[in-house]
A and B are shown apart, each in its own frame.
Chain A
Amino acid sequence: MRYRLAILAGKSAILLLKILGRKASTNPGVVAMKICPFVLERMASQMKGDIDAVMGTNGKTTTNNMLADYLEAGGKQVVSNRIGANMKTGVVTAFINKTSWFGKLKADLATLEMDEAWAKHIFKSATPTKIVLNNLFRDQLDRYGEIEMTMKHLKDAISLAPNATIIANGDDPLIFETVREFKNEKKFYGIKDKISDKQSQVKEGKYCYACGKELRYNFIHFSQLGDYSCDCGFKRPPLSYSATDIKVFPAISFNVEGFGKIDLNGRGVYNIYNVLGAMAGATECGIPFEIISDCAKKYKPQIGRMEHFNINGKDVYLVLAKNPAGFNQSVNTVLEDPREKDVILAVNDAVEDGQDISWLWDVDFDAFLNDKSILSYSVSGRRYGDLALRLKYAGFDQSKVSIFSEIKNAIDFALSKDGKAKYLLVNYTVLFGAQGYLKELEK
Chain B
Amino acid sequence: MREISITHLYPDLLNLYGDKGNISVLQKRLLWRGIAVNVNEVSEGNLPDLDNTDILVLGGGAQKEQKIVCDTLLKIKDELTEFIEDNKVLLALCGGFPMLGKYPEQENITGLDVLNIETHLTDERTIGNAVAECDIDGEKFNIVGFENHTEKTDIKGFTPLAKMISRNGNEGIIYKNVFASYLHGPLLPKNPKLADIILKRALIKKYGEIGEFANLSDELETKTNQTLQTRFLNL
List residues of A whose CB falls within 8 A of some B CB: 138, 140, 142-145, 148, 203-205, 214, 355-362, 382, 385-386, 388-390, 392-395
Residue contact A385 to B18, C-beta cutoff 8 Å: no
Complex contacts, A389 vs chain B, CB 8 Å: 189-190, 220-221, 224
Our pick among A143, A148, A385, A394 for the contact of B61 (Cβ within 8 Å) is A143
**Residues in B whose Cβ lies below 8 Å from that of A204:** 15
Q: Which residues in window 50-83 of B have CB below 8 A to A?
A: 60-65
Chain B nearest CB, measured from A79 CB (Å) = 37
Query: Besides the contacts A358-B18, A361-B189, A393-B25, what 17 more A-B pairs have beta carbons closer than 8 Å?
Result: A143-B16, A145-B64, A148-B64, A203-B12, A204-B15, A205-B12, A205-B65, A355-B129, A355-B146, A356-B185, A360-B21, A361-B24, A382-B231, A385-B223, A385-B224, A386-B190, A390-B21
Which of A203, A385, A392 is close to B227, meaning CB atoms less than 8 Å apart? A385
B33 contacts chain A at the CB level, 8 A cutoff:
no
- Chain B contact-residue range equals 35 or more
Per CB-CB distance, the 7 closest pairs between chain A and chain B, nearest first, are A361-B18, A385-B224, A358-B185, A361-B21, A358-B18, A393-B24, A389-B189
Q: Is the CB of A355 within 8 A of B16?
A: no
Min CB–CB distance B38 → chain A (angstroms): 18
A-B contact count (CB 8 A): 85
Cα–Cα, bound, A388→B134 (Å): 25
Asked whether B98 is an interface residue with its Cβ less than 8 Å from the other chain, the reply is no
- Asked if A205 contacts B13 (CB within 8 A), the reply is yes
Please tell me if B20 contacts chain A, counting CB pairs below 8 Å: yes
Question: Chain B contacts of A394 at CB under 8 A?
Answer: 24
The minimal Cβ–Cβ distance linking A441 to chain B, given in whole angstroms, is 28
**Contacts A/B (CB < 8 Å), 20 sampled:** A143-B60, A143-B61, A205-B15, A205-B65, A355-B146, A358-B18, A358-B185, A359-B16, A360-B18, A360-B21, A361-B185, A362-B15, A386-B186, A386-B190, A389-B190, A389-B221, A392-B220, A393-B24, A393-B28, A394-B24
Q: Is the CB of B146 within 8 A of A385?
A: no
Cα distance A360–B13 when bound, in Å?
Answer: 18
Quick check: is B184 within 8 A (CB to CB) of the other chain? Answer: yes
The listed residue with most B CB atoms (<10 A of its CB), out of A145, A359, A362, A394, is A362
Interface residues of B in 168-201 (CB under 8 A from A): 184-186, 189-190
Closest A residue to B188 by beta carbon equals: A393
Complex Cα–Cα for A204 and B62 (A):
13
Contact A143 B21 (CB under 8 A): no
B138 CB to closest chain A CB (Å) equals 26
Decide if A358 touches B186 in the complex (CB within 8 Å). yes
Taken together as a complex, chains A and B put the C-alpha atoms of A322 and B84 apart, in Å, by 39
Which chain B residue lies CB-closest to A139? B16
> Which of B61, B146, B220, B221 lies in contact with A356, CB distance below 8 A?
B146
A356-B21 in contact (CB<8A): no
Min CB distance A374 to B, Å, is: 20
Bound together, the chains give a CA A205 to CA B11 distance in angstroms of: 9
A390 CB to closest chain B CB (Å) equals 7
Please name the residue on chain B nearest to A387 by beta carbon. B224
Of all chain A residues, which has the CB nearest B186? A361
User: In this assembly, does B118 line the interface, its C-beta being within 8 Å of a C-beta of chain A?
Assistant: no
Q: How far is the CA of A203 from the CA of B227 in the complex (A)?
A: 33
Residues from chain B with a CB closer than 8 A to the CB of A214 are 44
Cβ contacts under 8 Å, B17 to chain A: 143, 358-359, 362
Which residues of chain A have C-beta atoms less than 8 A from B128's C-beta?
A: 355
Contact of A360 with B186 at beta-carbon distance under 8 Å, contacts A385-B223, A386-B224, A393-B28 already known: yes
Chain A neighbourhood of B228, CB < 8 A: 385
Interfacial chain A residues near B146, Cβ < 8 Å:
355-358
Q: Residue of A at shortest CB range from B17?
A: A358
CA distance A420 to B184 in the complex (A): 40
Is A144 in contact with B224, judged by CB distance below 8 angstroms?
Answer: no
CB of A356 within 8 A of CB of B148, answer yes
Taking the closest CB of chain A, its distance from the CB of B151, in whole angstroms, is 13
A residues near B148, Cβ cutoff 8 Å: 143, 356
* Interfacial chain B residues near A355, Cβ < 8 Å: 128-129, 146
Asked if residues A138 and B16 are in contact (CB atoms below 8 Å), the reply is: yes
Q: How far is the CA of A362 from the CA of B12 in the complex (A)?
A: 12
Residues of B within 8 Å of A148, CB to CB, are 64
- Residue in chain B with minimal CB distance to A392: B220
Q: Which of B12, B19, B129, B189 contacts A393 (CB 8 A)?
A: B189
Q: For residue A386, which residues in chain B have a CB less than 8 angstroms away from its CB? A: 186, 189-190, 224
CA distance A203 to B13 in the complex (A): 11
Q: CB distance B20 to A361 under 8 Å?
A: yes
Residue of A nearest to B220 (CB): A388
- CB-nearest residue of chain A to B222: A385
- A390 pairs with B184, CB closer than 8 A: no
Cβ of A393: which chain B residues have Cβ within 8 Å of it?
Answer: 21, 24-25, 28, 189
A393 to chain B, nearest CB (A): 4
Shortest C-beta distance, B17 to chain A (Å), equals 5
B10 → chain A, closest Cβ, in Å?
A: 9
Q: How far is the CA of A357 from the CA of B185 in the complex (A)?
A: 9
What are the interface flags for B123-164 relative to A under an 8 Å C-beta threshold, 1 for contact and 0 otherwise? 000001100000000000000001010000000000000000
Compute how far the CA of A307 lies from the CA of B20 in the bound complex, rounded to whole angstroms. 32
Bound CA–CA A385/B128 (angstroms): 18
User: Considering the chains assembled together, what is the distance between the CA atoms of A302 and B81 in angstroms?
Assistant: 56
Nearest Cβ distance between residue A82 and chain B, in whole angstroms?
32
Q: Give the shortest distance, in Å, between B102 (CB) and chain A (any CB).
A: 22
Instruction: Assess A145 versus B62: contact at CB under 8 Å? Given A355-B146, A358-B18.
Output: yes
